[in-house]
């Protein structure tokens, strides 16, 4: 009887552990991906990629302008978040479709996927890093911190959760030796440039793009 009880306890703990670690899917009402690339890439210049979401999409043009004559700038933005099984294959498909050798990848993720816990963000963040490394072998990476929101949203983005995600990512990219572009600290000083509770005005995006370009330029190969 004691043995049966022990087996039952072990089985119960195993099932509980499986339930805690079981992967689930959280979708948003509107899901999307966007990409853009130079009209005429200069073969003499290095190629760089911005990976992120709508914040990245907003500062892409400013970044490309600041790196004009220095690099060809591409971007891939998605509403898919860390924790979502679709993120890794989305990135893989993008890299396969573009077939471009990137010298630098500046990446960010964390403003979506609020249905995933910070524990899940910690667990699955390495998948994002691995997907970027696999898709852009040999590229130098830069992690961009998640920007602050103007107003917390129930069940959505809050500054407390953004801080937690940034802390998790910082710990992991430091271990990987990946430099950080602290967009959070930058835009914390420009909360007056919010266009809404999450996004920034064109003036804000220009400020972001300048810092993004600066963080990338340091890593560009010497001519």
CATH number belonging to the domain at 29-217, selected among 1.10.3720.10, 3.40.50.1110, 3.30.300.30, 3.40.50.2300:
3.40.50.1110
Query: How do the pLDDT tens digits run along the chain, 223 residues long?
Result: 555 554 455 445 444 444 456 788 899 999 999 999 999 999 999 999 999 999 999 999 999 999 999 999 999 999 999 999 999 999 999 999 999 999 999 999 999 999 999 999 999 999 999 999 999 999 999 999 999 999 999 999 999 999 999 999 999 999 999 999 999 999 999 999 999 999 999 999 999 999 999 999 999 998 6
**Residue 3 confidence (pLDDT):** 54
Closest alpha carbon to 52 in 198, 220, 201: 198
Closest alpha carbon to 115 in 183, 161, 173: 161
113 and 68 Cβ atoms separated by less than 8 Å: no
Residue ranges of domains in the chain: 29-217
Residue with tokens 């306890």: 9
How many Å apart are CA 67 and CA 216, to the nearest integer?
9
**Residue 25 confidence (pLDDT):** 86
**Residue 18 confidence (pLDDT):** 43
**Residue 23 confidence (pLDDT):** 86
In sequence order, the 6+-apart residues with CB closer than 8 A to the CB of 204 are 187, 190, 193, 194, 195
Residue 177 backbone dihedrals phi, psi, to 5 degrees: 75, 25
Closest alpha carbon to 147 in 207, 214, 213: 207
How many Å apart are CA 181 and CA 208, to the nearest integer?
10
**Residue 86 confidence (pLDDT):** 96
**Residue 12 confidence (pLDDT):** 54
Burial 119-146 (b: 16+ CB within 10 A, else e): ebbbbbbebbbebbeebbeebbbbbbbb
**Residue 24 confidence (pLDDT):** 87
Residue 45 Cα distances to 35, 48, 69, 73, angstroms: 20, 10, 8, 10
Question: 205 by DSSP, 3-state: which?
Answer: helix
pTM of the model: 0.90
């Amino acid at each position: 009887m004691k043995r049966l009880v022990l087996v039952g306890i072990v089985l119960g703990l195993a099932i509980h552990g499986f339930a805690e670690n079981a992967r689930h899917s959280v979708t948003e009402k509107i899901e999307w991906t966007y990409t853009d690339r130079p009209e005429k890439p200069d073969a003499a210049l290095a190629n760089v990629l911005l990976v992120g979401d709508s914040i990245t999409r907003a500062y892409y043009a400013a970044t490309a302008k600041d790196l004009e004559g220095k690099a060809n700038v591409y971007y891939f933005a998605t509403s898919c978040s860390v924790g979502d099984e679709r993120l890794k294959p989305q990135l893989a498909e993008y890299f396969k479709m573009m077939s471009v050798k990137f010298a630098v990848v500046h990446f960010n993720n964390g403003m979506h996927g609020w249905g995933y816990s910070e524990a899940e963000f910690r667990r699955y963040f390495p998948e994002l890093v691995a997907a970027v490394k696999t898709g852009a072998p040999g590229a130098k990476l830069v992690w961009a911190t998640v920007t602050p929101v103007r107003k917390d949203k129930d069940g959505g983005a809050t500054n407390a959760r953004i801080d937690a995600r940034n802390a998790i990512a910082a710990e992991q990219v430091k271990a990987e030796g990946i430099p950080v572009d602290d967009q959070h600290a930058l835009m914390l000083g420009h909360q007056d440039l919010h266009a809404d509770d999450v996004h920034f005005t064109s003036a804000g995006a220009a400020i972001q793009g300048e810092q993004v370009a600066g963080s990338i330029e340091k890593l560009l190969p010497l001519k």
